[in-house]
Structure formats: C-alpha cells, structure tokens
Amino acid sequence: MTDHIVIIGGGPGGYEAAHVAAQLGAEVTVVDTDGVGGSAVLTDCVPSKTLIATSELMTDMSAAAELGVNFHDHQGDAATTISVDLARVNARVKQLAADQSSDIAARLDRDGVRVLTGRGRLGPDMTVEVTTDGDSETVQADAIILATGAAPRTLPSAQPDGERILTWEQVYDLTEVPEKLIVVGSGVTGAEFASAYLSLGIDVTLVSSRDRVLPGEDADASAVLEDVLTRRGMNVLGQSRMQSVTREGDTVTVTLTDGRTVSGSHCILALGSIPNTADLGLEEAGVATDEGGFITVDRVSRTSARGIYAAGDCTGVLMLASVAAMQGRIAMWHFLGDAVAPLDLKKVSSNVFTSPEIATVGWSQQAVDAGEITAEVVMLPLAGNARAKMQGVRDGFVKLFCRPGTGIVVGGVVVGPRASELIHPVSIAVSESLTADQLAQAFTVYPSMSGSIAEAARRLHRV
C-alpha cells in the first residue's frame, strides 16, 4: 500500500522532504500558506543573497581604481561616482524570489506532489486540517512532517511599521536609499544587512549588545570583519543593548539601555527568530517543544509523537536552509525505510555573507579553547597569497584544525571574498576524515586562493 505523507510548510525542510518521498514512491501533499519555497525563498535567504550580489559588485567597483580602472575621465575614488538604484535592485530581488518559488512549484508538480495553499494544523489520529479562506479539508496521513519555519522576533518596545522600522522581510519594499540606516543586532542577519547596505554606499550604524560583531562566530574572523567594516566607515556600537525603537516623522530613534540614543532615517531589526509553532495542535498530538517553542527532534527528525517528524527552523537545531533540507530528507529516508545516516552538525559548512565572507565547517576555535577537542591549529593570512595580491585582497585568512597524531582535519575557517566557495575542500576533508597531508597533496591551481588552503594544510605536516 502506498504511504501518504503530509508536509506542513513548503520551505526547504518541506519541499526537499517532498522530493525524497515522491522518489521513494509515496503519495505526497504539501500544505503552505505563502507559496512554496518558504521564507527561505520568498523573504530570507534568496532575497538577501540577491541584494548582496549587488553589494558585492559595488565593493568590487570601489576597489577598481587600485586595479587601474576609472569609470570617468577624472581621477579619484570611483565608488563616489557610482550610485545604486534601490528600487531596481529590490524589484530584481522580488522577481528572482518569485521565479525561484515558481521553479520549485513546477518541480513538485513534475514529481506528482499535491500542493495545497492554506494553513495546516494537526488533527486527531494522524490527520491534518487544512484551512483556506474559511473552508477546511481534513487530510489523512501515514506520516506527517512539520516544517513551518520561523518568523522575525520583535519586541513590544520595538515594533516594525513597514516604512522606517523594518524587519528583514520588509526591506525589499524600500524604493529610496536610506539616508542613515541603523541595524539592531549583530548576529549573522544583522551583520549581513549592515555590510550589504554599507557597500551600497549607505551610512550604517550597527548596534550590538555584545562586545564584538558575530559573537557566535570564530573570534579572529569577527575581528577581521569588524576592522574592515569600521575602516569602510561603519559606526559599530559594541556593548550597546537596544531598549526601544521609536519613530517621529522621518526620524527613527534607537534608545539604548544605558540611556544613549542613536538617530537615523531607517532601522532594521535583526533580533533573531521565533518558531512558527503556535496553534499547530502540537500539545494535543503529543509533540514536545522546548521552552522557546521549538519542536524537539532526534537526529533522524522524529518528534516525541509516533509518525510525526519535524524539520528546519521550527526545530531550532541549526537555522540554515541546508540543514532544514537535510532534516527533511532524513525524515523521509527514515520513515520510508531507505538507508539513512543521522544528522551530523559537525559536517555542516556555513557562511556569513558579509564583505569579506566568513565560512566555517566542523569543530571551532571556541571548542578547541574550551578543551572540548584537542586539535592543532594553523592560521594563514590571505595577504601573502599571490592571487589575493593580484586582486587587491588584503583582509582574510585560512584557518585549519587537525587532530594531533592522526592529522585528520576536523574543522576550518575561511575569511575572504567567496569564502563560501573556498570552504568546500575543507568541508570534504572534514566529512571524509582526510588528513592534512591528503588535503595538502591535492593540486591547487596557481595562482589561486585555494592555494592557501593547501599551504595551511602543509604547515600542519608533522614528521
């Protein structure tokens, strides 16, 4: 008999699970309120990286003069003669997101997946109630996946108005370049937006409650980023906790807990996310959540209720599209009896899309310093790399961690342009337990940034 899988939420956690389930011969229904692709495609990951593509171009152009390129007849700082048309940028962002959502819908259709537009809620005895414009339908399931994602956190004292006080979902409605932008929150999302808008030529103040930007990342990496951002003119306010954000006319004021105030024309709130798990019928169905409302799952995505799985941001395991997708696939491989390896967070590579980018995989410096793992560490600045010199790149480094004795590579950090691409050889080494010698022996192109990864690995050679 064919299994019927019902998936609530059509983001990467949901649609990747749907593809696997369809491939393994199940009948699949995806329920989504907003259109497939989820927040990842419609409001978060895809739009922000599309905006960042424009900001990267602006960063490259601002370095053009050093490489001998002038945009006009006169000499001078090229960046000052370039301007961004934010209305066009944002129109492109929205179009690209909508196209991506349509592509995903077409692929689901080709796989024979039924997509229902509406709100899903767990019902009794493995059913899902789908509500659309007041109408409701009950769908019977053999297994259910909850992949409802998360939404921007706001505070009663810092409420978005969609015009000048904005969540990250609302920034693409801007048609004019903000005169003075304040970004509250220096985690990954805050740092990415602050860096992107700075590159677009906007006056940016970053309000960080911690002593450094990106407190969760490698400390050497965040030091490089903070140095670059301040050198390029960003006002970074460390140890500054936001108390409230208010608006009067065209002025937005951020008041800090110590009484200081910062004023600007616009403010982006990047205060983290809350899971979309309220009113899903979790308690009645016996699905346990933690104190933050995130659904508790094991490493094969099972919740505490038999036959009900959860994937992605609603589990809070690691809020990345790649992890959501893998949790969704694992759930289906597990339920439908295919070969499955439990989720291994030590193999996840991730990237902060600031300028420069920060990519990491495996064990971290924090874990080494805390004695959680013994590892040898080598850090190599990119400034010595021949390709970097040719391209005028001075900031960034490659850092590798390997086990003493065996030399097995257990982690790495790359800071630099396109670090998201450069991390891949390190990611393969971590995932396949390669030694530093093996990583060093593979040819790299000369000249190339990846040469620094091989060079760092060579420096870990022990006789």
**416 in contact with ligand FAD (CB under 6 A):** no
Residue 15: CB minimum distance to ligand FAD, A: 8
Which residues, 6+ apart, have CB-to-CB distance to 210 below 8 Å?
186, 238, 239
- In terms of phi and psi (left: phi > 0; alpha: psi -120 to 50; beta: otherwise), the region of 371 is left
The one-letter amino acid at 440: A
Bond before 356 cis per omega within 30 degrees: yes
* Selected binder of ligand FAD within 6, 21, 40, 198 (CB under 6 A): 40
* Residue 9 makes contact with ligand FAD by CB under 6 A: yes
Asked if 50 and 353 count as a contact pair (C-beta separation under 8 A), the reply is: no
- Is-contact 266 252, C-beta < 8 A? yes
23/420 with CB nearer ligand FAD = 420
- The Cα 107–Cα 404 span in angstroms is 47
Task: In angstroms, give the least distance from the CB of 142 to ligand FAD.
Answer: 19
Size of the site for ligand FAD (CB under 6 A): 36
CA 295 from chain centre, in angstroms, equals 20
Contact 415, 380 (CB under 8 A): no
Closer Cβ to ligand FAD, 192 or 218, answer by number = 192
CA distances from 192 to 92, 118, 231, 234 (A): 19, 32, 16, 13
CA distance 5 to 227: 50
Q: Which is nearer to ligand FAD, 58 or 146 (CB)?
A: 146
Give the one residue of 119, 232, 299, 387 binding ligand FAD; rule: CB under 6 A.
Answer: 119
- Asked if 12 is part of the footprint of ligand FAD (rule: CB under 6 A), the reply reads yes
Does position 10 bind ligand FAD by CB under 6 A? yes
Q: Does 11 bind ligand FAD (CB under 6 A)?
A: yes
- DSSP secondary structure string for all residues of 361-384: EES-HHHHHTTSS--EEEEEEGGG
Least distance from ligand FAD to the Cβ atom of residue 437, Å: 31
Smallest gap from Cβ 42 to ligand FAD, in A, equals 7
**β-strand pairing of 266-269 with 409-416:** unpaired
- Report the nearest approach of ligand FAD to the CB of residue 47 (Å): 8
CB of 25 to ligand FAD, least distance (A): 23
Binding mask 63-102 vs ligand FAD (x if CB under 6 A, - otherwise)? ----------------------------------------
Find the shortest distance in angstroms from Cβ 130 to ligand FAD.
8
Residues contacting 60, CB < 8 A, separation 6+: none
Task: Work out whether 228 is an interface residue with ligand FAD (CB under 6 A).
Answer: no
x-marked contacts with ligand FAD along 313-332 as a string, rule CB under 6 A: xx----xxxx-x--------
The residues in 139-178 that bind ligand FAD, with binding defined as CB under 6 A, are 147-149, 168
Which position among 20, 21, 31, 336 is part of the footprint of ligand FAD (CB under 6 A)?
A: 31
- How would you class 376 by CB atoms within 10 Å of its CB: exposed for 0-12, middle for 13-18, buried for 19 or more? middle
Nearer to ligand FAD, 222 or 350 (CB): 350
Map residues 353-382 to x or -, x wherever contact with ligand FAD holds by CB under 6 A: x-----------------------------
Name every residue whose Cβ is closer than 8 Å to that of residue 98 and which is 6 or more positions away in sequence.
42
CA-to-CA dists, residue 226 to 103, 236, 238, 266, 406, angstroms: 38, 8, 10, 22, 35
Residues forming contacts to ligand FAD in the complex (CB under 6 A) are 8-14, 31-34, 38-40, 44-45, 48-49, 119-120, 147-149, 168, 189, 276, 280, 312-314, 319-322, 324, 353
